[in-house]
Structures are given as C-alpha cells and as structure tokens.
C-alpha cells in the first residue's frame, strides 16, 4: 500500500498535467456550489418574506423549503469532494494559507447554521416558538453563502 504522501503527490501530478481533470474538478466544485447555494438562497429569501406575512405563511414556506434540502445537501457533497481534490492538488500551499482556513471556518459556520435552521423548522412545525430563530438563521445563511463564495474566489489568488 502506498504511503499517504505518495498518493497525494501522485494526485497532484495527475491534476497538474491534465487540463481535462482540472476542468472537471473545477466544474464539480462550481456546479456543486450552484446546486446548493442557489436553492438555499432562494429558500432563505422566501422564508424571510413569509416571516413578514405571518405564522401560516411561515408554515407553508417551511413545507416548501424541506424539498430543497436534498438539493442543498447533494450540492454540498459535490463541493466537499471536489474541494478535497483541489486541496490535495497543492496540499502544502493550502495548509499554510490563511485564506484556506478562513474559508474552512466559514464552511463550518454555514453547516452549523444549517443545523440551526433545521432545529428552528422543527420547533415551528410543532407549534413552538422558533420563528425569530428562523429569521436570524436565514439572514445568517445568506451572509454565509456569499462570504464562503467570496472566500472561494480569493483562495486561488492567495496561494
């Protein structure tokens, strides 16, 4: 079995010597971002509008939002897998990059905020309070999606 460093070095060589491979991994990363961020941003905006219309509108929007969950999670899976491949293509540079660690922190925050949204959804669905938590988490989600995307745009230029 090859040591981990040999596997990373082999991948980095394959990646750097193949325009098709670089394009495919980049597309998976950007395509996953579009597939996850697009529905998430649309759902956040719709939920914020529903909050202004009242509790029944929030319940209706939450029902609609649950159908977007699979798109968001699937897109994030593609972003994660392709992100790992991008990182492994230049592992030492990524691990030393402050921009990389800022992006990772934003991804963790985005994931935790998603869990808050799911929790608030459950509270509201059970008739308990949680609408204000939904509103705050939706606003945070919008900010985090754009901040994470910005960090992703900065990262290759900061290596």
**Domain encompassing residue 26:** 4-158
- Predicted confidence (pLDDT) per residue in 149-158, tens digit: 999 999 999 9
Residue 31: what pLDDT?
97
CB 21 within 8 A of CB 95: no
**Total of domains in the chain:** 1
Residue 155: what pLDDT?
95
**Whole-angstrom distance, CA of residue 141 vs CA of residue 90:** 29
Counting residues of the chain whose pLDDT is more than 90, the rounded percentage is 86
Counting residues of the chain whose pLDDT is more than 70, the rounded percentage is 99
Q: How confident is the model at residue 129 (pLDDT cuts 50, 70, 90)?
A: confident
Residue 27: what pLDDT?
97
**Whole-angstrom distance, CA of residue 82 vs CA of residue 5:** 19
**Whole-angstrom distance, CA of residue 89 vs CA of residue 9:** 8
In 3D space, the residue among 134, 143, 126 whose CA is nearest the CA of residue 48 turns out to be 134
What's the gap between Cα 143 and its chain centre? Answer: 12
Q: Does residue 128 surpass a pLDDT of 80?
A: no
Residue 125: what pLDDT?
86
Task: Give buried/exposed letters for 32-51 (b at 16+ CB in 10 A, else e).
Answer: bbebbbebbbebbebbbebb
**Whole-angstrom distance, CA of residue 8 vs CA of residue 60:** 48
- Predicted confidence (pLDDT) per residue in 44-89, tens digit: 999 999 999 998 899 999 999 888 989 999 999 999 999 999 999 9
Structure tokens given for 102: 């800022």
Helix-strand-coil percent breakdown of the chain, rounded to 5? 90, 0, 10
R_g of the chain computed on alpha carbons: 19
């Amino acid at each position: 079995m090859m040591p981990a460093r040999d596997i990373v070095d082999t991948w980095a060589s394959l990646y750097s010597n193949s325009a098709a491979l670089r394009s495919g991994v980049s597309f998976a990363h950007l395509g996953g971002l579009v597939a996850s961020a697009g529905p998430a941003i649309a759902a956040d905006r719709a939920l914020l509008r529903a909050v202004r219309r009242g509790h029944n509108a929030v319940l209706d929007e939450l029902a609609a939002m649950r159908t977007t969950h699979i798109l968001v999670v699937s897109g994030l899976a593609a972003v994660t897998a392709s992100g790992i491949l991008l990182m492994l293509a230049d592992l030492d540079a990524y691990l030393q990059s402050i921009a990389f660690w800022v992006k990772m922190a934003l991804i963790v925050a985005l994931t935790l905020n998603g869990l808050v949204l799911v929790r608030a959804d459950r509270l509201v669905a059970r008739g308990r309070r949680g609408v204000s938590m939904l509103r705050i988490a939706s606003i945070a989600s919008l900010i985090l999606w754009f901040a994470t995307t910005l960090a992703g745009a900065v990262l290759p230029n900061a290596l």
